[in-house]
Amino acid sequence: MAEVLLSTDRLVKRFGGLLATDTVSIEVRAGEIHALIGPNGAGKTTLLGQLTGHLTPDSGHIHFAGRDVSRLPAHARVRLGLGRSFQITSVLREFTALDNVALAVQAHAGHSFRFLGDARRDPALRDPARRGLEAVGLGPRADLPASALSHGEQRQLEIAMALAGVPRVLLLDEPMAGMGAEESQLLVGFLRGLKQRCGMLLIEHDMDAVFALADRITVLVYGRVLATGTPEDIRGNPEVRQAYLGEAA
Amino acid sequence: MNPRIVVTGLLLALFAILPLLTQAVGQPYLLSVGTRVVIWTIAAVSLNMILGYGGLVSFGHAAFFGIGGYAVGILAAEGVQSGWLQWPVALLASAAWAAAVGALSLRTRGVYFLMITLAFAQLVYYLSSGLEAYGGDDGLNISRSRFTGLIDLRDKAAFYWLCFAALAATLWFCSRLANSRFGLVLRGARSNELRMTALGFPVFRYRLAAFTMSGALGGLSGILLANEGAYVSPAMMSWMKSGDLIVIVVLGGIGALFGPLYGAIVFFAVEEFLKPLLDLLHKGWGEYWQIVFGPLLVVIALYARGGIDSLLGRRHG
């Protein structure tokens, strides 16, 4: 079995009386896409928030790359190789596409307490950034402001930014959201090709994409793990069908 | 040719030879106005660093006028006349204050940040009022810093050129900073803080560093201001001065390199010339010059978001 890169150990998070994350233990291995599905309000976003470091769990632990990162701030987890993309597109709108990726490269290239050199003419930042844009098919759009890109292109830009940080695990929060069928298909192909480079935790409502991509699926309902298994296991699980797939299938 | 380059070039050339011009027209008073414009521009540039690039509206920037000024004033009153000692101490004191205020205030955003920076500035203001040994409310007359054998700050033209050189260096530094790795992190965080964090940038540290640099530079303007008038007083750092600095930055164009220069020129020109002009129209009207200045600001805020800078054409980078 492949190495476990990211795991949670009986994670609990409460909001007042609401148990949003109820003793959740999941893991993401190298070279796999682990999909997290569940109806709205199942606690997917809350779980993701704890993984990224924007929420602090009430109890339980998060291990990443061989260490306990439960208390590590968000930026430090990214530096360890825990990349993410956002549910709602999040790019630097007034910067060009190339600037966006170059900043991601810069974040990975040590500290940025450099005050005089022109970062926009630094080949050590610009060249990898340009290659990253080309890899997601945005090469010709490099010099446009991010705000001028289409929705689908901005999502591709986000992925290029996340990849520029050379992540070992990528947290993908509904990457297909708002995409057309054709764009989704392209992204599915792209993510499949990415598996060699990093493990992925995929939160997605598009079931076609989930079953096409996932090596394993975890179903979350009311903050609890209902089932974890291969796509076939999940498809055949009567509890899952009743709780979740029943309404969609 | 780009109108911005022409206008800015002409302005800088004009300022570079200002002492010769004021002497030629026999109006030495104008040189002291010019000196204050230059010093205030340095302060506004330092505010623009955090407000323009960082997107953080600090409402306590005049505190650095005071800290820089009082550091020089108190040392002078205690018999330390050498600028070689006074100035580094004043710069360090300003930077240290900025670091302390930044460490607390940068944990907040928006209006809360504004209120906390204002509160800290008021703290320094009242502290200086209470310094009875150094003049209290009345302020303190000082002798100017001494750089024996190098420059005599009592010579108005020489002092002006020193201020102008400081401004030129400040503008050069900021022009480099804006597109440096550090500057891009600062500007990226203004655009989308969450995204910058998700890229792995510890945004707080970069903002704190910017706030500290900005404070040191603000302190420099305070040092110069104290030497300009040979006088320091709590009035240097009243909250209205902080407001004036914000007005200058907004008027000139938030985040524009030369915006503070345009803003300071217009601000002082209005203050100096609108008053007599209104008095000329009707005696006593000069008191109310801000009735004209206020609407001018409203027009800028409504129709020229990028301030005077945006009237000079599109900006790049």
Chain A, chain B: beta-carbon pairs less than 8 Å apart? 95
pLDDT score, position A48: 95
Q: What is the mean pLDDT of residues B97-124?
A: 96
Q: Tell me how far apart the alpha carbons of residues B304 and B302 are, in angstroms, rounded to a whole number.
A: 6
pLDDT score, position A246: 56
- Within 10 angstroms of residue A110's Cβ, the number of other Cβ atoms is 10
Note the pLDDT tens digit of each residue in A124-133: 999 999 999 9
Nearest to B176 by CA among A129, A92, A120, A108: A120
B316 contacts in chain A (CB < 8 Å): none
Query: Beta-strand (E) ranges in chain B?
Result: 140-141, 231-232
> Residue B235 contacts by C-beta under 8 Å, 6 or more apart in sequence?
B139, B241
Best of B181, B186, B204, B314 to disrupt the A interface (most A CBs within 10 Å) is B181
Q: Which residue of A has its CA nearest to B173?
A: A116
Parse chain A into domains and list their residue ranges.
1-81+167-249, 93-166
> Residue A152 contacts by C-beta under 8 Å, 6 or more apart in sequence?
A178, A179, A180, A183
pLDDT score, position B251: 93
pLDDT score, position B293: 83
The band of B221, judged by pLDDT with boundaries at 50, 70 and 90, is very high
Backbone angles phi, psi at A244, to 5 degrees: -135, -60
Q: Which residue of A has its CA nearest to B183?
A: A115
- Say if residues A132 and A160 touch (Cβ distance below 8 Å): yes
Interface contact flag, B199 A76, Cβ < 8 Å: no
Interface contact flag, A116 B180, Cβ < 8 Å: yes
Parse chain B into domains and list their residue ranges.
3-311
Rounded to a whole number of angstroms, the distance from the CA of A136 to the nearest CA of chain B is 18
The share of chain A scoring above pLDDT 90, in percent, equals 72
B257 contacts in chain A (CB < 8 Å): none
Q: Is B293 on the interface with A (CB under 8 A)?
A: no
pLDDT score, position B317: 47
- Say if residues A10 and A23 touch (Cβ distance below 8 Å): yes
Q: Is A155 on the interface with B (CB under 8 A)?
A: no
Note the pLDDT tens digit of each residue in B49-73: 999 999 999 999 999 999 999 999 9
Among A174-178, B31-35, B216-220, the minimum mean pLDDT is found in: A174-178
Q: What is the mean pLDDT of residues A195-204?
A: 93
pLDDT score, position A249: 42
- Candidates A75, A94, A106; nearest CB to B191: A94
- Candidates A74, A92, A118; nearest CB to B180: A118
Q: Is A84 on the interface with B (CB under 8 A)?
A: yes
pLDDT score, position B316: 55
Residue, of A143 and A242, whose pLDDT is higher? A143
Fold of A1-81+167-249: Rossmann fold (3.40.50)
Note the pLDDT tens digit of each residue in A64-74: 988 999 999 99
- Candidates B182, B187, B191; nearest CB to A114: B182
Query: What's the mean pLDDT when you consider all of chain B?
Result: 94
Class of domain B3-311: mainly alpha
Note the pLDDT tens digit of each residue in A19-64: 999 999 999 999 999 999 998 888 999 999 999 999 999 999 999 9
pLDDT score, position B237: 94
Nearest to A33 by CA among A136, A162, A167, A170: A170
pLDDT at B300 > cutoff 60:
yes
Note the pLDDT tens digit of each residue in B150-196: 999 999 999 999 999 999 999 999 999 999 999 999 999 999 999 99
pTM of the model: 0.91
The band of A247, judged by pLDDT with boundaries at 50, 70 and 90, is low
Q: Tell me how far apart the alpha carbons of residues A181 and A174 are, in angstroms, rounded to a whole number.
A: 14
Give how far Cα A142 sits from Cα of A66, A138, B284, Å. 37, 6, 60
Note the pLDDT tens digit of each residue in A154-165: 988 998 999 998
Interface predicted TM-score (ipTM) of this complex, two decimals: 0.88
Q: Is A181 on the interface with B (CB under 8 A)?
A: no
Interface contact flag, B200 A107, Cβ < 8 Å: yes
Best of A48, A101, A118, A147 to disrupt the B interface (most B CBs within 10 Å) is A118
